[in-house]
Structure 1
Amino acid sequence: MSIEISKEFIEKIQLLVENQENKTILESLNDEHHADIAEVLDVLNLEEATYIIKLLDSEKTSEILMELDEDIREKVLENLSAKEIAEEVSEMETDDAADMIAELSEERQERVINAIQNEDLAADIKELMTYEENSAGSLMAKELVKVYATWTVAGCLRKIRAQAKNVSRVHSIYVVDKQEKLIGRLSLKDLITAKSEEKIADIYISNVDSVHVNDDDEEVAKVMAKYDLEAIPVVDDYNTLLGRITIDDIVDVLKEEADKDYQLAAGITQEVEADDSIWELTRARLPWLILGLFGGLGSVFIMEGYEEIMANPKFAKLFFFTPLIAAMAGNVGVQSSAIIVQGLANDNVKGSLFNRLLKEVGLSLINGFVLGILVVIAGFFMKMEVNFSLTIAISMMSVIIVAALIGTFVPIILNKRGIDPAIATGPFITTSNDIFGIFLFFFIAKLMLGF
């Protein structure tokens, strides 16, 4: 049963902490899920959260710590000794332990690792901390169930029971040879239905998906999504089994990537949160706002080049349609780029660029034609001259085609150059399409109306 996190419940916990009613606090929280307790601690102040962390047992708090908001966890850890942190990480899986220790200063990292009593665990954590961030190695856990091809079924079952004690979830059983190289996987059904004296070599499945320890975490996510895997083994250049990555870690990767892409699309250059400092928020937003400023100035300079129109009452009302043209250019560009960015993220953008060009031009012609007709109809009711309505309609169709092409090919080009295509959406596409859109509008209008 989950906690109902109400104002009354928070006030009750705060009062219990203030009065140091430890027994009642334990009765209130001990049977609750660690994610719910973490949500409670996120609301409490630092002293109250630290008090509860120290009160609960390490098996519980180790899970709570990983669910806490990163900034709050960092502050809580500052209030724990190296020995206390070592006790917490000793209850974690190695990937979570390495992630949490990596948040500490180098000096505290060393002190915490030295305070871990289990030497094998300490060595595993040190190994995981050597891998590049956002790599498969940084995601993997060392805990897994592996068996040797030379074992008998009876011996294998005994060994699995011993190994499974250290693994929270047994998604797969991996088969290795004497050199610890991954050679296959073992079906639990095949294992329990086989005869006791049979060798694992006779019943294991040689077809096993794996990822390299240096693979990018997004590539790992794509492989696991493609083959619908709950866990995947990690190997090195020699196919030696190093660890495994589970689906919960991949969900975190996808969430972080989605958050990052959303911020990039909105014109924020780095990962920020609502409660970050004004300086951090300004530094993340200002570069794109500066780009938007120069883009807007570019539009002004283009319009200045046609200022003679303002002196002619017959054509002056063209300026009233510039927001419409700019808005359509921006909307079409963002639509096109959003589809491409999503396709690139899911690895669905394939095939000939020329065919994609034809497709985008065709789609733009249809959309532009329909919208152009609507503009002509609107012009009829607004009692505009036919050639004036047609000028706006044709300009809009041209702008839509250009905007769609920019929105389509800029993300693809960025992706080919190893740049995150998410930066192509939002201010980048909108600003560039505003400039091209306004230029095309007045250029076509000058050709058709002859001013």
Structure 2
Amino acid sequence: MQFQLTTDFLNTIEQLISVQDGSALRELLHDYHFADIAEILEELDSDEATYLIKLLESEITSEALMEVDDDVREKILDRLSPQEIADELQEMDTDDAADVVAELDDERQQEVIGQLEDETLAADIVELLKYDEDTAGALMAKELVRVKETWTVAGCVREMRRQAKNVTRVHSIYVTNKQGQLTGRLSLKDLLTASEGAHISDIFIPKVDYVTVHTDNEEVARIMQKYDLEAIPVVDENGILVGRITIDDIVDFIKEEADKDYQMAAGISQDVEADDSVWQLTRARLPWLVLGLFGGLGSVYIMQGFEEALEKFPILFFFTPLIAAMAGNVGVQSSAIIVQGLANDNVKGSLFNRLLKEVGLALINGTALGLLVILFGFIVGQEQLVSVTIAVSMLSVIIVAALVGTFVPIILDKRGIDPAIATGPFITTSNDIFGIFLFFYISKIVLGF
């Protein structure tokens, strides 16, 4: 039965914490999954959550700490001593342990690493902290099963048993040469069916997909998705096998990137949560709101330049929001498709062909919408020339908005800027300005004012 955190159950936990009845709490939470413990921790205040972390076994709490929200984990870590943090790290995979240590300031990092009894774990964490945050080196874990080409099958099995004790899940068995360079992978079926005296060099598969420690995380995700991999080995500049990245790490990365892109598309410049402070939320939202403000002021300035048109044809004023809305909507649609294609590496061919395709699509959509505008004008008894003017303006605006929505994300991507920025207020504001200018300029030509 799936776990559901009820108010009564949470109240029971809070009451037991308030009287510090550790025995009852251990008995109550003994059989719960670490993900359920994480859900409980997020509902408690920081002191209560810290008490629970100190009370329960590190085997469970270490996993739970990696499941909770970053802000919750940060508050809990602030209340734990370096030794208590080190105890939690001892139960984590190296990549998770490095992520936790990275959240600490430099002084506490040194204190925590100094408290680690496992010198190998300490060295691995220090190594992982050296890599840039958005690279495979920072994402990988050091735990894996590796065998050497020169080993016999019998020796390989013995060594695999020893190594597997430190690996949560064995996705693949990697083969290296004497220097530790990755040379291939080993099929479990081939290993089980080979004679004990056979050498690994005779049965391993030399073809293996891999990434380097400096490979961008997005490229890692693309490769794993393309080849449907559960794990991928990581090598250094010399081809030495140094770690592996598993599918759960990539899923976490993709989720984080999706959250960032969603917020950026909504006009939020920083990674924030709903329960962040007012100041943090203001800093994340205000820059784009300022951009929207200047865009609106630009539109006002453009409309002032066509004041004569509004005096002779005041009905144009009422269609201004429609034109601006169509420009913004079409621009966001075009940019969203391109950004998605760039993320999935599906945007192929020349930029000219892509723009030509968008023009064709815009012509079809713009013509259909323009005819609906003319039909609407006929039904309400609007002057036919005005209806045609609005329809032609809308068609032109849709074409320009589609071009801008296609062109901008591609150019941003080529310049190394996250193209997701083009799916939000940036593209909407720019298309609003272009749309209003085109609307009045075409109206001036057609209506002759």
Q: What TM bracket, shorter-length normalisation?
A: over 0.9
Matched length: 449
Q: What residue is the counterpart of 1:144 in the other structure?
A: 144
Distance (whole Å) between structure 2 residues aligned to residue 12 and residue 130 of structure 1:
44
Q: What residue is the counterpart of 1:377 in the other structure?
A: 375
Q: What residue is the counterpart of 2:265 in the other structure?
A: 265
Distance (whole Å) between structure 2 residues aligned to residue 121 and residue 363 of structure 1:
56
Q: Give the partner amino acid of 1:299.
A: S
Q: What residue is the counterpart of 1:39 in the other structure?
A: 39
In the alignment, structure 1 residue 367 sits paired with structure 2 residue 395: no
1:178-193 equivalences under 5 Å are 178-193=178-193
Distance (whole Å) between structure 2 residues aligned to residue 213 and residue 434 of structure 1:
44
Q: What residue is the counterpart of 2:347 in the other structure?
A: 349
Q: Displacement of 1:2 after TM fit?
A: 4.1
Distance (whole Å) between structure 1 residues aligned to residue 309 and residue 79 of structure 2:
69
Q: Displacement of 1:280 after TM fit?
A: 1.3
3-state SS of the aligned residue for 2:356?
helix
Distance (whole Å) between structure 2 residues aligned to residue 23 and residue 278 of structure 1:
40
3-state SS of the aligned residue for 2:146?
strand
Q: Displacement of 1:274 after TM fit?
A: 1.1
Of 422, 427, 446 in structure 2, the residue corresponding to residue 424 of structure 1 is 422
Q: What residue is the counterpart of 2:14 in the other structure?
A: 14
Q: Give the partner amino acid of 2:420.
A: A
In the alignment, structure 1 residue 71 sits paired with structure 2 residue 71: yes
Asked if structure 2 preserves the Cα contact closer than 8 Å seen for 1:2 and 1:32, the reply is: no
Q: What residue is the counterpart of 2:409 in the other structure?
A: 411
Q: Displacement of 1:387 after TM fit?
A: 1.2
Q: Give the partner amino acid of 1:178.
A: K
Aligned structure 1 segments of 4 or more residues deviating by more than 3 angstroms: none
Q: Give the partner amino acid of 2:84.
A: E
Of 318, 331, 354 in structure 1, the residue corresponding to residue 316 of structure 2 is 318
Q: What residue is the counterpart of 1:278 in the other structure?
A: 278
Distance (whole Å) between structure 2 residues aligned to residue 309 and residue 130 of structure 1:
63
Q: Give the partner amino acid of 1:124.
A: D
Q: Give the partner amino acid of 1:27.
A: E
Asked if structure 1 preserves the Cα contact closer than 8 Å seen for 2:272 and 2:280, the reply is: yes
Q: Give the partner amino acid of 2:346.
A: N
Asked if structure 1 preserves the Cα contact closer than 8 Å seen for 2:186 and 2:204, the reply is: yes
Distance (whole Å) between structure 2 residues aligned to residue 35 and residue 234 of structure 1:
28
Distance (whole Å) between structure 2 residues aligned to residue 311 and residue 289 of structure 1:
31
TM-score, normalised to structure 1, is 0.98
Asked if structure 2 preserves the Cα contact closer than 8 Å seen for 1:340 and 1:349, the reply is: yes
Q: Displacement of 1:189 after TM fit?
A: 0.7
Q: What residue is the counterpart of 1:127 in the other structure?
A: 127
Distance (whole Å) between structure 2 residues aligned to residue 409 and residue 219 of structure 1:
23
Gaps of 5+ in 2: none
- Structural RMSD (CA): 0.9
Q: Give the partner amino acid of 1:392.
A: I
Distance (whole Å) between structure 2 residues aligned to residue 86 and residue 356 of structure 1:
54
Distance (whole Å) between structure 2 residues aligned to residue 73 and residue 362 of structure 1:
51
Q: What residue is the counterpart of 2:297 in the other structure?
A: 297
Q: Displacement of 1:20 after TM fit?
A: 2.1
| CA deviation map 1:270-314 (0-9, x unaligned) | 1111111111111111111111111111111111111112332xx
Q: What residue is the counterpart of 2:335 in the other structure?
A: 337
Q: Displacement of 1:167 after TM fit?
A: 0.1
1:430-441 equivalences under 5 Å are 430-441=428-439
Q: Give the partner amino acid of 2:447.
A: L
Of 385, 389, 392 in structure 2, the residue corresponding to residue 391 of structure 1 is 389
Q: What residue is the counterpart of 1:219 in the other structure?
A: 219
Q: Displacement of 1:17 after TM fit?
A: 1.2
Q: Give the partner amino acid of 2:339.
A: V
Q: Displacement of 1:22 after TM fit?
A: 1.8
Asked if structure 1 preserves the Cα contact closer than 8 Å seen for 2:151 and 2:200, the reply is: yes
Distance (whole Å) between structure 1 residues aligned to residue 125 and residue 91 of structure 2:
13
| CA deviation map 1:319-372 (0-9, x unaligned) | 111011111001000000000011011111110111112111110000011001
3-state SS of the aligned residue for 1:183?
strand
Distance (whole Å) between structure 1 residues aligned to residue 239 and residue 168 of structure 2:
25
Asked if structure 1 preserves the Cα contact closer than 8 Å seen for 2:95 and 2:141, the reply is: yes
Distance (whole Å) between structure 2 residues aligned to residue 82 and residue 385 of structure 1:
78
3-state SS of the aligned residue for 2:41?
helix
3-state SS of the aligned residue for 1:243?
strand
Q: Give the partner amino acid of 1:98.
A: A
Gaps of 5+ in 1: none
Asked if structure 2 preserves the Cα contact closer than 8 Å seen for 1:153 and 1:200, the reply is: yes
Q: Give the partner amino acid of 1:20.
A: Q
Q: What residue is the counterpart of 1:255 in the other structure?
A: 255
Q: What residue is the counterpart of 1:401 in the other structure?
A: 399
Identity of counterpart residues, as a percentage? 68
| CA deviation map 1:357-413 (0-9, x unaligned) | 211111000001100110010000010121111111111000000000000000001
| CA deviation map 1:215-261 (0-9, x unaligned) | 11111111111111010000011110000001111011101110111
3-state SS of the aligned residue for 1:133?
coil
Q: Give the partner amino acid of 1:130.
A: K
3-state SS of the aligned residue for 2:189?
helix
| CA deviation map 1:18-67 (0-9, x unaligned) | 22222221122121110111100110111211111111111111111111
Q: Give the partner amino acid of 1:84.
A: E
Q: What residue is the counterpart of 1:177 in the other structure?
A: 177
1:70-109 equivalences under 5 Å are 70-109=70-109
Q: What residue is the counterpart of 1:328 in the other structure?
A: 326
Q: What residue is the counterpart of 1:236 in the other structure?
A: 236
Asked if structure 1 preserves the Cα contact closer than 8 Å seen for 2:309 and 2:444, the reply is: no
3-state SS of the aligned residue for 1:14?
helix
- Larger mean CA deviation between 227-236 and 22-31 belongs to 22-31
Q: What residue is the counterpart of 1:202 in the other structure?
A: 202
Asked if structure 2 preserves the Cα contact closer than 8 Å seen for 1:411 and 1:421, the reply is: yes
